[in-house]
Structure 1
Amino acid sequence: MSRRFKGLGIMLLVISVMLAACSGGTKEENATAGTAGAPTEGVASTAKETATESGTKVVKDQFGEVTIPTHPQNLVVFDSIYAEYLIEMGVTPQIVLLTPEVEAEYRPDYLKEHGVQIIEVEQYQYNYEQLLALSPDMILAAGEGMEQGVYDELSKIAPTVALDANSEMKRAMPKLAAIFDKTEESAKVLAEFDEKASQAKEKIAAALGDKTVLVLRVEHNRYRFMGPKGGSSSVFFYDILGLNSPEAIKDSTDWFSQFSLEFLPEMNPDYIFLEDRTLVGYDTKKSMEDLKASQVWSNLEAVKNDHVFPLKTSQFVSGVGPIGSVKLMDYVVEKLVP
């Protein structure tokens, strides 16, 4: 054999040994890395989990069908009430938008305790550039009251679910549960709340009998009363807690109706929850002073008997939920039940 071919043979032998070493390895190494033709059980399981994590599904919302991540990794929730519903069901969103001036006092700490990032925003404003910078893979908001144009802009940033509901717990929570496969957990939370509400309702009924309760809102240059057949707050006060409204407004279906002070004697409630409405840049000082200085106010049964109790806007507007509603329930019982 010539020296040339002899050298070539040695080289081929060295290469074959090197290739064998590279393709070999210990059993432990192969178990960790797997092989292209036959992945190990651990690798197959991981791949399956990854596929599930990165999957999508189609859900219906206020505006139609939307494709969302099965397990969103950067979920932005617009409504802090919705965030509370989700957390109590076992789903923790990554980011929540809220307006500090009108937020329920307990909720920022509650959100932080659950590791949720809080982004402070202006009330009733949408900052699309800010949202884009957050890089959400899903946006969740209440659909009732949202305009189509706003929804379209949000959908350009990330898949957006505008829930076909308002903030009322028994409407919104089951629909959120259906989206996140938490129906059983939702039912449990609602059942626990119903039990607490039933106990509160019994205490109030025993203490008040047929006495009436008015929720009166003081606004800038006007006054409004809560209709017992109005929105979600009406459900809380007049259905869940079973309060009796004044006879003169018992059929009102408006959440809040404007009235003149001259109408107060016709309602003449036994108890009043008085809301000094809170809005960013809103001043109710003059309206409150005029109310308390009026003769009709001082002649009301509730006023004469010192049965007027302050009510914060955040307590019953942004403060509802499995946590907040129980806090408000306890407050109402405290004021009405001796």
Structure 2
Amino acid sequence: MKKYILLVMSIFVLVFSLVGCGNNNQAGQQSANEGQEAKETRVVKDVKGEVEIPMHPERIVDISGASDILSILGYDVIGTANSDGYDYTKFPSYLEDVLGHAQILGYSMLAEMDVEAIIALEPDLIVISTVQEKMYDQLSKIAPVVMVEMKQMDWKEDFMHVATIFGEEEKATEWIDTYLAKAKEVGASIKETYGEESSYLSFLASGGSLFIFDGAGLGTIFYDDMGLAKPEGMPQQENVSLPVVTFEGLAEINADYIFAIATDEDLAALTASSIWNGTEAVKNGNVITLPASPYFNQGYSPIGRLVFVEEIEALLAGMHE
């Protein structure tokens, strides 16, 4: 009987040992599979050619200015240069909720950033623009680098350029179509309220100069996205640089409604000008003044454009309050 009990106990020990080994093997295999998934890569084509990047990057540093686009496409950015155009240490208000958790590394239009700060973030993917091309070799030693070209003229083109590199064209197209439908709807409501033929002008007063938004920034929100009328006398924008006019040139633009984006100093100079005060829009009280930060950058960001479209009716309604 004693031998029988010992035999049964030996069998139990053997069985549990085999089960334990099986579980350990399964756990080891699962861990190996997870490690393999983490190391999976794919090849994408950017402006420099083909580059191998992680299949599912989790620690993206973007200094190209495309962080808002990447967030729309479902990517998390831990380091960014989508800072405010007037204060590189903070986010423009329309991106605070979207990118507020990311570390600001500079401003996207600058050619160089703090490499040590990028290294400290331990990125598994770095996105730069052609503006930062001379950093390419140095950054490539840290992590795979994707280079994009942000032309800043047609926001949809820039959006789709980034989306195509990452294979997210469908998601980008859906977002753009939804936004444009919203913009057209708001534009139609504005026309109904303020007149079909009413024209709209937006400009930036900064550093003693007057920059007209026509083929970029807020101008394209008015004219392209919402379908509002462009005033007569507009200087045409031929490249990424905004057309510059004098006070006299500004007065020659016959706009029914004006959105004046300005720094405090330039706004003071503007409101003190007899030429400015003699324009029909000013005399009729049809002027909305907005701070240079964040509105200067806002028209160059897809998220910023959406935020502006959502608030423009309230801005117009508040003109005479």
Q: TM-score, normalised by structure 2?
A: 0.78
- Pick from 305, 311, 325 the counterpart of residue 284 of structure 2: 305
- Which residue of structure 2 aligns with residue 327 of structure 1? 307
State whether structure 2 residue 68 is matched by structure 1 residue 61. no
Runs of 4+ in structure 1 off by over 6 angstroms are: 21-24
- Which residue of structure 2 aligns with residue 171 of structure 1? 157
Q: 1:258 to 1:213 in 2, by over 3 A?
A: same
Q: Which has more radius of gyration? A: 1
| Aligned 8 A contact 1:85 1:322 in 2 | yes
Q: 1:120 to 1:126 in 2, by over 3 A?
A: closer
- Which residue of structure 1 aligns with residue 271 of structure 2? 292
Taking the TM superposition and a 5 Å limit, the aligned residue runs for 1:115-194 are 116-119=101-104, 121=106, 124=110, 126-143=113-130, 146-166=131-151, 169-194=155-180
State whether structure 2 residue 83 is matched by structure 1 residue 108. no
- Which residue of structure 2 aligns with residue 216 of structure 1? 203
Distance 1:315 1:188 in 2: 25
Distance 2:13 2:157 in 1: 61
Q: 1:319 to 1:194 in 2, by over 3 A?
A: closer
Secondary structure of residue in 2 paired with 1:94: strand
Structure 1 vs Structure 2 CA RMSD: 3.2
Distance 1:244 1:274 in 2: 17
Matched positions, count: 298
Secondary structure of residue in 1 paired with 2:128: strand
Secondary structure of residue in 2 paired with 1:72: coil
State whether structure 2 residue 66 is matched by structure 1 residue 82. yes
| Aligned 8 A contact 2:184 2:227 in 1 | no
Letter in 1 for 2:230: S
- Which residue of structure 2 aligns with residue 315 of structure 1? 295
Q: Give the drift of 1:57.
A: 2.1
Letter in 1 for 2:220: V
| Aligned 8 A contact 1:142 1:166 in 2 | no
Q: 1:266 to 1:56 in 2, by over 3 A?
A: same
% of aligned pairs identical? 26
CA deviations on 1:165-199 (whole Å, 9 max, x unpaired) are: 34665223333333444333333322321221121
Letter in 2 for 1:210: E
Distance 1:214 1:95 in 2: 35
Letter in 2 for 1:209: E
CA deviations on 1:203-243 (whole Å, 9 max, x unpaired) are: 123333222211121111222212x2x23543323201223
Q: Unmatched 5+ residue regions in structure 2?
A: 1-11
| Aligned 8 A contact 2:256 2:280 in 1 | yes
Q: TM-score, normalised by structure 1?
A: 0.75
Distance 1:28 1:166 in 2: 61
Distance 1:326 1:258 in 2: 26
State whether structure 2 residue 79 is matched by structure 1 residue 95. yes
Q: Give the drift of 1:304.
A: 0.6
